[in-house]
Structure 1
């Protein structure tokens, strides 16, 4: 190990970090973020595409020792991590990072819970809530730092599914911390994880595999940590290798100068907390569509009657920054899957116009073919405004026949600046799970999650995620 290189510095920091090194407000915030991830897992477990994935994996994989969230089934740790991640990513309601886009809960929670159960079944120690929280926080910090080394949102513009690329080192370091591995083995795990990083953003148009790509990161990071624990040697100095290294390879063709930023991985390590950058979604759509929703909402609030006159609308123009444009500015066509609908700014704008909200119910299969929505989609165009250097900024302009043109500019959507409060996250948790699990189970999960440091065995919480949940859009 080179202790002065970015890989070595990161591994030594991960190994030495204690819960008391982390500011109390960061620890508190992490527990609320974790609660949001559990909500997304439980409502995602029985969505149609989740059930399709689950049944296929149940058919091909034997039973194991790691619980499948929202089901009375168990699989091996790797398959459980993959499937549970796809549930958390199942309906675009999960967290994302504002600087380096990745969905941390879908990467960390499946890997950590699978690791806890697997270790228990092979004679490992009981993992308490404080140790689990510390490992979770390690993952929250590592993923965005690795992403910033590749210019964060720019990876989306290049066509990579950024979270699936940034996620394997986050998952591997979190599980390594859970197992209290030394820095040398953490380096092995990161090397094994990084060589498995991948994810194509073309998955967003019609495929269901978009829901699963963060699961590849969760599974591969878990696999890397368990292999390193057994002594299997990974790639050393993977972040700084000039030939075939993680940054040098993914940075090729980036068009940036320099092509990658290795110092970002350890910049202000232990003083700047990336957990602050994790955002919680109020809408069931890709994060880059949220400012579109708020632009339309603002116009609806300011001009309620005019915005209801759909027949008079002749055009809707949405202007956005680079990453949002490349990610969601494409033109959708019929037929469209729920995945594609949730990734399209044009479709989401029409959804907000017609339904007045963008939540799970608006993406049911019977809602995706509404002629009124599609009429508005076909009147919508998206544009990259090169003057928008603030990543979240968007402008919407709605032109009418024989009525004044309406326009509004929103600097950042609800949930970004400012982020949702802890109280708002609890409100989201209660609202999402109200019709999915019973009241007693919901209250107990909330109590254990928000009091995580006091739990002697984190599987008190894990067991409450095991067992049948309901389909939220049935």
Structure 2
């Protein structure tokens, strides 16, 4: 690697990921990584029996190799590629997984799925998985930072597009790739990055998340076997960042690297659906409780929030549960009608119910100075009142995080909802102890549904 090469930001990022050791990672960061893993198993259970996952397993399994890896919440297994694809799909399908607020990315799904598929197939340790998880999460979030806000606002599904880099770096770190091979893994990942916001609310969205995990795993494995890529895959004249952002912020790849941990800013959702909807849910739950407010009393709602709230969720005419996860109008009606915002409020049946009851008109006011965790709401009632509230930091945000106990409860609830009959407390305990487990596959086997 030449001196010129070493000055490139992607070379510095690849070198960081390749040389990172578990003892270099502060305990607070390792603990946040464990929290992310506990949470992602919860959401993988929630999505494991979804029709989109059933179709994917049914379609892909005949083309898979011998069973070497586990599908979370299911009795079938698959090869590493199938497991990476399906487990990432399951974990993200309800938009109930973690969120890196600065980019609105869900970092864990592609990374955890690729790591455990590789670890289970080759009997790697939990400590190796934890190292890879931190390395991969750091890489994907920093690449996301370098492209935000343009990339997501332009219509790229950032969880998928950046997830492939996270999966590649994670598996590469777990395998012990050197800096040169890690750079090649990122280069191979770059040419496979895809995902469109237009697909949100459809089954198609989940294919790019699954693809990110599988293709990241492939990128690392190819690099380990000598496969090469471009010298400047991210910052080059026609490199990934210059193609996908206008303009890219290249310094975000390396600023504070090793001392400022992006993965430590991860957050976890108390409600399924788009993260930008969470402060709206909190606001309406508060008004409902304070004033006995019901849907039939509401004439109109005004919402002042980050522009992404309007851009992603102004969908008054949704007809399916999957679409409703990114609809402010349905979400508002469901919360006012039922007094909660769980998975049952984002089903086809719930959408039909809010459609019959009538979704109140919702007026958006953009405020680019607000964070996505903040909103001001005015509910105008049919009897002429104007009920106001403001949410500064939604439940589950970085400033108002879920506790460890709340995340554990989320696993218990979602595993139960999925009909999982395994030992959930033992699974949770094993994730908290991941760096002391000799065979990471033990964790995945605890997450398999008994045949």
For this structure pair, what is the TM-score category when the shorter chain's length is used for normalisation?
Answer: over 0.9
Q: Which residue of structure 2 lines up, in the alignment, with residue 123 of structure 1?
A: none
Counterpart Cα distance in 2 of 1:30 and 1:186:
21
Cα deviation, residue 403, structure 1: 3.4
Counterpart Cα distance in 2 of 1:20 and 1:61:
37
Residue among 377, 383, 408 paired with 1:426: 408
Q: Decide whether aligned partners of structure 1 residues 204 and 382 sit closer, same or farther in structure 2, where only a CA change above 3 A counts.
A: farther
Q: Which residue of structure 1 lines up, in the alignment, with residue 317 of structure 2?
A: 333
Counterpart Cα distance in 2 of 1:382 and 1:260:
33
Counterpart Cα distance in 1 of 2:28 and 2:345:
35
Q: How many residues align?
A: 447
Q: Which residue of structure 1 lines up, in the alignment, with residue 21 of structure 2?
A: 18
- Please say if 1:47 is aligned against 2:50: yes
Residue among 298, 306, 324 paired with 1:321: 306
Q: Which residue of structure 2 lines up, in the alignment, with residue 248 of structure 1?
A: 242
Q: Which residue of structure 2 lines up, in the alignment, with residue 279 of structure 1?
A: 267
Write out aligned runs for 1:191-230 (5 A). 191-205=187-201, 207-230=202-225
Counterpart Cα distance in 2 of 1:438 and 1:12:
41
Write out aligned runs for 1:394-473 (5 A). 394-416=375-397, 417-436=399-418, 441-468=423-450
Q: Decide whether aligned partners of structure 1 residues 383 and 89 sit closer, same or farther in structure 2, where only a CA change above 3 A counts.
A: same
Counterpart Cα distance in 2 of 1:427 and 1:264:
35
Cα deviation, residue 99, structure 1: 0.7
Counterpart Cα distance in 2 of 1:96 and 1:190:
22
- C-alpha distance after superposition, 1:283-326 (max 9, x if no partner): 0111111111011112112212xx12x33322122222122221
The answer (yes or no) to whether the contact 1:351–1:373 under 8 Å persists in 2 is no
The answer (yes or no) to whether the contact 2:302–2:365 under 8 Å persists in 1 is no
- Aligned with 2:94: secondary structure? coil
Q: Decide whether aligned partners of structure 1 residues 387 and 449 sit closer, same or farther in structure 2, where only a CA change above 3 A counts.
A: closer
- Farther-moved stretch of structure 1 (14-23 vs 181-190): 14-23
Q: Which runs of 5+ in 2 are unaligned?
A: none
- C-alpha distance after superposition, 1:20-68 (max 9, x if no partner): 1111111112112101111111221112332222222224545442222
Q: Which residue of structure 2 lines up, in the alignment, with residue 3 of structure 1?
A: 6
Counterpart Cα distance in 2 of 1:167 and 1:452:
22
The answer (yes or no) to whether the contact 2:61–2:82 under 8 Å persists in 1 is no
Q: Which residue of structure 1 lines up, in the alignment, with residue 330 of structure 2?
A: 347
Residue among 343, 361, 372 paired with 1:380: 361
Q: Which runs of 5+ in 1 are unaligned?
A: 121-125, 470-474
Cα deviation, residue 412, structure 1: 2.3
Q: Which residue of structure 1 lines up, in the alignment, with residue 145 of structure 2?
A: 148
Residue among 279, 285, 288 paired with 1:291: 279
- Aligned with 1:383: secondary structure? strand
CA RMSD between the two structures? 1.9
